[in-house]
Chain A
């Protein structure tokens, strides 16, 4: 059960952190505050959804490094950076590492809320995709080796006859495999099956 989509704010300046959280709450969003990247990493859970608002400059591990660590761990939370002063090389690195946005302090509250909402939507989409991928992987696990072979050939566009010839079984058996794997993967049609398998690739 995924947690409620949340704005995770990481900033070492207590006042900036608190005021930002207040702003997000006033904007009707769920917020969680961390005053260091290490703190955030310690409470990181795979089920977390939402987005991250990161200060670039922090003592110890800075925002860019935290972003890099999250990429390593395949955490898909979209990131918005806040910075005290425009630093082009840092902005470039942040965007290359897949940041959603790079905003300068003092920020405009409208713009920040808007960008956060966009990041949340993006986060929800990627969370959904990730969820789908996990579910499909679970279903694929249930297939027998023979059914997997049949699945690969079906997705490759072969007819029952061709599959029967290649696997050296009767067309009748192919049909049985086909019906079973459709049921196991919860696919209603051939097109849905193809989309499901290719979409997760």
Chain B
């Protein structure tokens, strides 16, 4: 009886325990499901971030989690990275650096470092910035973790390059636009007297051919025509005066520095044309008194011309060499290209206004360059290189004689 009572009690207790367990299990299951849902949401969020994010176990030197962006920055996928040791994934220097930095973060602190991938490593990001932070679990269980946020600096570098290219293009376009406007205005101004001269002379010819003419009428027409020729000449004189009258803004200019500043402006164009730019300047040169902006324009022009000369030809090597060095009584800047050089007979016209060997050329670039250099009391010469290509040499005196730019 007691036995059976015991049995019943045991069964009751077991049943109760079973029910309680089931309820508990149910509760745990619900909570687990909710937690899984939260986790999934969190992963969805980090998966779509445009930032590379990873969780690293610093002791095991393993990836616990990476988001797709992180994996793609290193040319891999989250499936490959997750669970892998750093050394299995990365090139040795970077793996070691990352592991050491992860292990040495001060408690609750963070660390940041930048790293350039060696050229032979096939990584999407050539240059990365890594920010590390210690990650503490609320429950304090499990291994300590470090979160890593990686940004691609080469993307920034690309943007900078794009900006520079746009700047260079802009200066090129502005140069052409100013010249285009000037040419259009000049054309219109000259058109009027030319039109009148043509009218007077054609009318005179007509009258004389028809046999019906009076001497005083013809004299008047010819006088008017010659007056219009004078008017055209005045326009040209005015233009010359205008060009000469720009007030010189002379200041000491370090030519080596000038070269170093202008070269980056044309690098994107050079890269586009697969032309290498080599700078070979003396380390130190005395400053010249010059208008900095004008000299920049000259150099920019010569460099772009050099690149264009190479681009127009299929030659090898493809290189523009620019150098600033000391020369008798001053300094010289030389720009040599490995293009085809210029043909016989072209050399003496290179600096003439409106002379161009390029189909879309205005033919004002070199003419303006020479005017600028000469206004500084210097000279601009061009010659063919023995080994091919052409060299333009700008010579600038250290002291500008006052008379030399008043002429």
By a beta-carbon cutoff of 8 Å, the part of chain A in contact with chain B is 13, 15-16, 18-20, 22-23, 25-27, 84-85, 105-107, 109
Contact = CB atoms under 8 A, between A and B. Distances in A.
A103 to B, nearest CB: 11
B187 A85 contact: yes
A63 to B, nearest CB: 15
A59 to B, nearest CB: 14
A23 B195 CA distance: 12
Given A19-B224, A109-B199, 11 more contacts: A16-B196, A16-B199, A18-B224, A25-B203, A26-B203, A26-B204, A26-B206, A27-B206, A85-B184, A107-B195, A109-B202
Contacts of A84: 188, 191-192
A19 B194 contact: no
Contact of A106 (B184, B195, B204): B195
Q: State the main secondary structure of chain B at its contact with A.
A: helix
A15 to B, nearest CB: 4
B268 interface: no
B199 A13 contact: no
B260 interface: no
B193 interface: yes
List the 3 closest A-B pairs by CB distance, nearest first: A19-B199, A15-B196, A26-B206
B227 interface: yes
A37 to B, nearest CB: 18
A23 B206 contact: yes
Nearest to B227: A15
B231 A15 contact: yes
18 contacts: A15-B192, A15-B193, A15-B196, A15-B228, A15-B231, A16-B195, A16-B199, A19-B224, A22-B203, A25-B203, A84-B191, A85-B187, A105-B191, A105-B192, A105-B195, A106-B195, A107-B198, A109-B203
Nearest to B193: A15
Interface string B164-206: 0000000000000000000010011001111111111011101
Contacts of A16: 192, 195-196, 199
B241 interface: no
A58 to B, nearest CB: 12
Nearest to A20: B199
Nearest to A28: B210
Nearest to A13: B192
A22 B188 contact: no
Contacts of B210: 26
Contacts of B206: 23, 26-27, 109
B313 to A, nearest CB: 36
Among A18, A23, A26, A107, chain B packs the most CB atoms within 10 A around the CB of A26
Contacts of A26: 202-204, 206-207, 210
Interface string B205-238: 0110010000000000100110110010000000
B225 to A, nearest CB: 8
Among A25, A27, A106, chain B packs the most CB atoms within 10 A around the CB of A106
A106 B231 CA distance: 16
Contacts of A23: 199, 202-203, 206
A99 to B, nearest CB: 19
A107 to B, nearest CB: 7
Contacts of A15: 192-193, 196, 224, 227-228, 231
B157 to A, nearest CB: 44
B175 to A, nearest CB: 22
B200 A106 contact: no
A19 B188 contact: no
Contacts of A20: 199
Among A13, A16, A27, chain B packs the most CB atoms within 10 A around the CB of A16
Contacts of A25: 203
A22 B200 contact: yes
A62 to B, nearest CB: 15
A15 B196 CA distance: 6
Contacts of A106: 191, 194-195, 198
